Amino acid sequence: MNKKFDVIVIGGGPAGYVAAIRAAQLGLSTACIEKWVGKQGEPALGGTCLNVGCIPSKALLESSHWYSIAQNELADHGVRTDKVRLELGQMLQRKDKIVSALTQGIEQLFKANKITWLQGHGRLLANKQIEVTSREGKQTIYDAENVIIASGSVPIEIPSARYTENLIVDSTGALEFNEVPKRLGVIGAGVIGLELGTVWRRLGAEVVVLEAMEDFLVMADKQIAAESLKIFQKQGLEIHLCTRVTSSEIKNKRVAINYQDKSGDHNITVDKLIVAVGRRPNTDNLAAAEAELLLDERGFVHVDEQCRTTLPGVYAIGDVVRGPMLAHKGSEEGMMVAELIAGNHASVNYNTIPSVIYTHPEISWVGKTEEELKASGIEYIVGTFPFTASGRARALGDTAGMVKILADRASDRILGVHILGAHSSELIAQAVIAMEFGSSAEDLALTVFAHPTLSEAVHEAALSVHGRALHTVQHRK
């Protein structure tokens, strides 16, 4: 007889492991299937995010930022660093230590919550049975009252730039270069492309970014995107928009790239090429045909607003379902589904999920952009405040960017907040909380913010909505 669990989760990334932990906390017997194997050949929890995504990339972004500061900015503070040198090996070791500590932490949380970790590949069969195939090829069948699919996503490969070992790589390979490439190519100017391109630019590489879209950062507010593009170009990123890579080949251990833009055909040669054109749902070999799991035309698992699939007792969460591929979105869905399985009320407010690009300055936003509001015919008012007028930003030497708040013209309710600036990933949480509670711009304007802080820029932008900003010249509305 097969062993049975109240809940079996397929996938141990931020969506899956959070779902498993919350289910166990609610008293449900829980198992989580994860097949990830780390660099040293050891099984690891945490999925893409902890192992080769969010965490290691942020570690390198932080390290490379400090290196850039030491090289280019500390002299302004009266600190001389004439003999700064890069030890890339140490930087990569630091990244790996952070990853190891966090993945081991998830393992300890599983033990503490009595969650069974099934190591191997999980596959949904009919009648909520799960087949787990170990690394050695052994197959075991488990029964579940409820199944949560959280199999994540994988990088998209394109025909014109097929991966080759250590030369044409995806985001994972871009975290492991053992030396700084003299010239680096990046296909895709989205979140991943900009973050990884920024890391290696700071460390000394010439970086050429090829983006197919005609506009820069189409998912962000247009004003914020335009200002961001200027900053990145000033930092030395060579960004080409409206380009299409037609082919690539390896020549003398370098990558020759052919691409087209509005002016015609072009070619460049780089030492390394990162392909960062997006990710797709990881649904390969996820379910047997007899399971009848419904996928859409792009391979996403079809779910309703509460992440229920068309199969009773089977849910899907995270990158494998509709919506932005964000770790925190998946985690919230994981908690919601665990609560629903336990018989509790739960939901996710998809209107207040923040997005962040961890470049420097950081770009973050929540809610609607101006372009979306215009397209919807919603009348709105805008308040902005530049970080050049922030005393704390001046003291930090980080004055690039701005805060922008969009509010409904009739009700004053906050509809969107967009921040380009230092530590905006932290500042955006204030906007998320405000929007979650249905705050108006006036509510934020009446809130007391500590001085001097970067968060005062949020306060000033709220004041600016009604022409009342105090620390920048503004015409009264």
List residues with catalytic annotation: 451
Are 147 and 303 in contact by the 8 Å Cβ rule? The answer is: no
* 368: exposed, middle or buried (Cβ count in 10 Å: 0-12, 13-18, 19+): buried
For the CA atoms of 7, 12, 14, 18, the dihedral, rounded to the nearest 10 degrees, stands at: 30
Q: How many residues does the chain have?
A: 477
Q: Return the closest-CA partner of residue 329 out of 58, 54, 51, 43.
A: 54
Pairing of strands 244-251, 254-261: antiparallel
Helix boundaries (H) for 357-423: 370-376, 391-396
The DSSP element (H or E) to which 272 belongs, if any, is strand 272-275
* 138: exposed, middle or buried (Cβ count in 10 Å: 0-12, 13-18, 19+): exposed
Helix boundaries (H) for 246-367: 327-341
Q: Return the closest-CA partner of residue 15 out of 106, 104, 96, 105.
A: 106
Q: What does 55-98 look like in DSSP terms, one character per residue?
A: HHHHHHHHHHHHHHHHHHTGGGGT---TT----HHHHHHHHHHH
In angstroms, what CA-CA distances link 377 with 227, 371, 408, 430?
25, 10, 11, 27
Q: How far apart are the first and last CA of the chain?
A: 73
CA distance 31 to 375: 45
Tokens of 167: 């030369």
Query: Is 395 strand, coil or helix?
Result: helix
Are 278 and 156 in contact by the 8 Å Cβ rule? The answer is: yes
